[in-house]
Amino acid sequence: MNVTEQEEREYLEEIKEKLLLAIRLTEDRVKQFSTELRQNKEYIHEHKSGMDEADMVAAGQSINRMASTGESVVARKKKLLKLSASPYFGRIDFKTGTEKNPVYIGIHTFTDETQKANLIYDWRAPISSMFYDFELGDAWYATPSGKISGTIVRKRQYKIREGHMEFMIENDVHIHDDLLQKELSKSSDDKMKNIVATIQRDQNAVIRNETAPVMIIQGVAGSGKTSIALHRIAFLLYRFRDEIAAKDVLIISPNKVFADYISNVLPELGEEQIPEMGMEELAHEVLEDKFKFQTFFDQVSSLLEKPDDKSIERIQFKSTFEFLSKLNQYIVHLENNFFTFTELRVGTVVVPFPFILERFKAYHRIPLLKRAPEVVKDIQQHVRNAVQRKLTGHEKNQIWQAVPRMFKTNNILEIYKDFYTWIGKPELFKMLDKDTLEYADVFPLIYCKIRLEGAPTYDYVKHLLVDEMQDYTAVQYSVLSHLFKCKKTILGDVNQTINPYSSSSSESIERVFPQGDVVKLFRSYRSTFEISGFAQRISRNPDLIPLERHGQEPVVKGFISNVEEIEEIKKLIAEFKNSRHPTMGIICKTQKQADFVYREVQAPNIFLLTAESTSFKEGVIITTAHLAKGLEFDEVIVPFVSVRNYHTDVDKRMLYIACTRALHRLTLTYTGEKSPFILHTGVDPDRDKIKLSHQ
């Protein structure tokens, strides 16, 4: 069946006709449901005076059922419309025994209702896994009833856009790489796209892992880890559609821009958009907006603009497992030393100290600062037994007042501050001003609150996705572990940490989640071979394997003055606007520098991204390396790469992140003497004219 490319093109037309018919039938059903729903509402409105309560409830339920069915029909129409533009991207001919069946694979399933046969299989279906996992020859796939073995005798991949077949790649062992090269050579969009047509074998193993309670994905820059994680969520929603829905999943997102950038992936795969939340938003919820605190963005900005040794010391200490261990020891210490117990006299009855202490310890499963009501009840019962009567209101109040006074304090911030005195390092706690916490103290405070006061868990979340895992500390992961009892997907790259003083690796995260499955992705797909090599010379990652997609060498340009440098940036922007590329990133070290460039080059389709931004747009984006994490651009300019601007370890991390955002073209500019991080890298066409000057 369909041996030649011409036969494939004819078959595509047949499928499109069947899809068109299915769309028309679905439209008719939508109209039918709409009419019936309107008629039912009108009937209820006209006859409600003669209907009893049971009739009204039954009528309401009927309308709700009709509305729900109508919504599912509308959802099916959307899937069919998407399929009509690109019905499928792959095919395998799978032979079992004497049977040989062609299996066409697309974003959604499409069944011929007349023949009762699947014409297109969803990429997440068990049989579709063979497309990603096997080449020609022996193959198998797992089903609920067992393993199905056979032979793949043909394998093809297609690019179908707007109903037209652009190309077909015939079966051979390089089928994925061929298509991958074609796809990666294309321009970037303002939204992340699905990768169902180019999923690699190692990526597929991660996506289809349905058993891991915690999946930890350590991926190099450009390995597609975020996209893989989103496709994993889409797979789990498909596989367990009776148990979990999109609303039951939560993404911990690094910023609102990133959330917008990835917002198309799941809808493209036929799933609803899933909720997202930032760590700071989570902190505000758990702390009930009772505390002001520095943001992570502000912390990093402070380290970049005015690094302070004392601040760095505080950040470093609070990011370690040693710190978490000491915090746990302190909480145990409080169990025995946080009280000023004395005997309690109620009228003629003396409640002895050992009894009170024993009752406090009996409720060890209740957070320390929440035990008082239970202890009060026990003391009241003790007194009642002694006097053999009901207690007076005065006696009850006496007990209620006495028990809380046994605590040294119930102020969680005071308790947290006391921790530093207990470990002999009171200087490690410092407020930014009288009522603003440093970011490094926010989650340790939350941890203390959870352990000592309790906090509501997010039980409605059935799967948690945490991106940029390297930017969270041991305490933060412990907080997430306490608040979210569900399965988790955690991903990131330790080489892309924006604050090296508080970073985590997959190994350190494993200590918090010892039950986690760790997967490491080494192959980078984003940047050209030349850009990857350039970034590697800035900050070497020995595990990174670049895809050999070649392009222009990165260019490093030096200037005598800032005026010349800005003029060059304007020239590069003009060249970009005349190119085929839709996205350019001008990635600065700090927000102040980004603000400066934006003021100097303002023009149509040039946008400034800040910590408050909520959307990612095509055109020229001016931002910081911090906010650019997770994003990618066809072309990237990194300005001000002088020795005065890039010389610390934090600066080096920012430079690496900025350079690894580029897909096809990378240019770095500087005034005076360039940073030592790029002394031996890139093409420098102007090196002979550069003179040392102040930036």
- Which of 169-183, 266-280, 292-306, 406-420 has the weakest average pLDDT? 169-183
Amino acid, res. 508: S
CA 344/CA 379 separation, integer angstroms: 9
pLDDT of 340 reads: 75
pTM to 2 decimal places: 0.86
Kindly state the average pLDDT of the residues 44-73: 64
Q: Name the DSSP letter for residue 541.
A: -
pLDDT of 507 reads: 77
Percent of the chain with pLDDT over 70: 89
Cα-based angle 618, 619, 621 (whole degrees, multiple of 5): 95
Residues in the chain: 695
CA 533/CA 545 separation, integer angstroms: 10
DSSP 3-state assignment of 119?
strand
Q: How far is residue 99 CA from its own chain's centroid?
A: 43
pLDDT of 576 reads: 94
pLDDT at 185 > cutoff 60: no
| 52 band by pLDDT with thresholds 50, 70 and 90 | low
Count of CA atoms in the C-beta half-sphere (13 A) of 133: 18
- Which of 432-441, 505-514, 639-648 has the weakest average pLDDT? 505-514
pLDDT of 39 reads: 67
| 200 band by pLDDT with thresholds 50, 70 and 90 | confident
Kindly state the average pLDDT of the residues 46-55: 65
CA 361/CA 355 separation, integer angstroms: 10
Phi-psi region of 163 (alpha: psi -120 to 50; beta: other; left: phi over 0): left
pLDDT of 177 reads: 56
- Residue 443 token pair: 């989650």
- Which of 506-515, 545-554, 569-578, 611-620 has the weakest average pLDDT? 506-515
| 41 band by pLDDT with thresholds 50, 70 and 90 | low
pLDDT at 382 > cutoff 60: yes
pLDDT at 383 > cutoff 60: yes
pLDDT of 117 reads: 84
pLDDT at 258 > cutoff 90: no
pLDDT of 657 reads: 94
Q: Which of 625, 613, 604 is nearest to 668 (CA)?
A: 625
pLDDT of 175 reads: 47
CA 344/CA 398 separation, integer angstroms: 10
pLDDT at 347 > cutoff 80: yes
pLDDT of 496 reads: 86
pLDDT of 64 reads: 66
pLDDT of 254 reads: 87
Residue 163 CB partners (closer than 8 Å, separation 6+): 12, 16, 84, 85, 86
- Which of 66-70, 79-83, 139-143, 276-280 has the weakest average pLDDT? 66-70
Kindly state the average pLDDT of the residues 93-122: 88
pLDDT of 48 reads: 64
Q: Who wins on pLDDT, 686 or 343?
A: 343
pLDDT at 145 > cutoff 70: yes
- Which of 30-34, 278-282, 388-392 has the weakest average pLDDT? 30-34
pLDDT at 71 > cutoff 70: no
DSSP 3-state assignment of 219?
strand
| 68 band by pLDDT with thresholds 50, 70 and 90 | low
pLDDT at 53 > cutoff 80: no
Beta strand 487-492 with 214-219: parallel, antiparallel or unpaired?
parallel
pLDDT at 688 > cutoff 60: no
pLDDT of 695 reads: 35
pLDDT of 183 reads: 60
Phi-psi region of 610 (alpha: psi -120 to 50; beta: other; left: phi over 0): beta
The number of beta carbons lying within 10 Å of the beta carbon of residue 6 is 9
pLDDT at 176 > cutoff 80: no
- Which of 74-78, 319-323, 577-581 has the weakest average pLDDT? 74-78
Average pLDDT score, the chain: 87
pLDDT of 684 reads: 64
Q: Who wins on pLDDT, 43 or 462?
A: 462
- Whether the CB-CB separation of 368 and 452 falls below 8 Å is answered with yes
Percent of the chain with pLDDT over 90: 52
Q: Who wins on pLDDT, 633 or 509?
A: 633
Bridge partner residues of 96 (DSSP): 99
pLDDT of 601 reads: 94
pLDDT at 186 > cutoff 80: no
Q: Who wins on pLDDT, 681 or 216?
A: 216
Kindly state the average pLDDT of the residues 2-15: 89
pLDDT at 692 > cutoff 50: no
Q: Who wins on pLDDT, 658 or 341?
A: 658
pLDDT of 464 reads: 96
Q: Name the DSSP letter for residue 136.
A: S
Kindly state the average pLDDT of the residues 337-366: 85
Kindly state the average pLDDT of the residues 223-227: 90
- Residue 678 token pair: 């790029």
